[in-house]
Amino acid sequence: MTTSLALDAESLYAELRRAVQPLMEPHTRLAGVISGGWWLAGRLHADLGREGEPGAVSSALHRDDFASRGLSSSGQTRLPFEVDGSDILLLDDVLHTGRTIRAVLNELFDYGRPARVRLAVLVDRAGRELPVAADAAAARVALPAAQSLALARDENGRFELNVRRR
């Protein structure tokens, strides 16, 4: 079952765009966690007029639940920039337990050693299991453990947040 959350994803995106601007330096590279974070990174990259392309990072191969989940069909890591020595701003839609970010960092380090990695998320929700914190978050919410929150895009590319019962 999917329901709409009272949070306006487009307004949150505008807040995220404002919040990440102080984190951006001329050489900062954007990379998004597949899939919601990649959508955010792509739109942010265009809205900020950044050169080149944003990266896409998959958590699939480094997940601690890989044996039960297997490979997802959502996409593979694609980093159109040199990771070694880069200042990377990693984007994700929802930060919850921290396990996806741990897996994404492992994947990122398979490609090189960045100088710095910072994290920006659309929504930071309660329930952290690992010591992971976002440098920027458009909203902080608490949801029951039986619910998940995910970013979706409509046919016009507009964002919406959906709550699903697990």
**67 belongs to a structural domain:** yes
Half-sphere exposure of 24 (CA within 13 A, CB side): 19
**27 belongs to a structural domain:** yes
**159 belongs to a structural domain:** no
pLDDT tens for 27-42 read 999 999 998 999 999 9
Residue 4 has pLDDT above 50, yes or no: no
Query: Considering its fold, how many domains does the chain have in total?
Result: 1
Residue 70 has pLDDT above 60, yes or no: no
**44 belongs to a structural domain:** yes
pLDDT tens for 145-166 read 889 899 999 999 999 999 888 7
The CATH number of the domain holding residue 127 is: 3.40.50.2020
pLDDT at 71: 54
> 54: burial class by Cβ within 10 Å (0-12, 13-18, 19+)?
buried
**2 belongs to a structural domain:** no
pLDDT tens for 91-142 read 999 999 999 999 999 999 999 999 999 999 999 998 999 999 999 999 999 9
Residue 21: give the domain boundaries.
8-144
Share above pLDDT 90 across residues of the chain, in percent, rounded to a whole number? 78
Write down the pTM of the prediction: 0.91
Helix (H, G, I), strand (E, B) or coil at 68: helix
Q: What is the mean pLDDT of the chain?
A: 91
**94 belongs to a structural domain:** yes
**CA 86, CA 63: separation in Å to the nearest integer?**
24
**35 belongs to a structural domain:** yes
Most distant pair of Cα atoms in the chain: their distance:
44
Q: Span 51-68, mean pLDDT?
A: 81
Residue 20 has pLDDT above 70, yes or no: yes
Residue 137's contacts (CB-CB under 8 Å, 6 or more residues apart) are: 16, 19, 95, 120, 121, 122, 123, 124
**1 belongs to a structural domain:** no
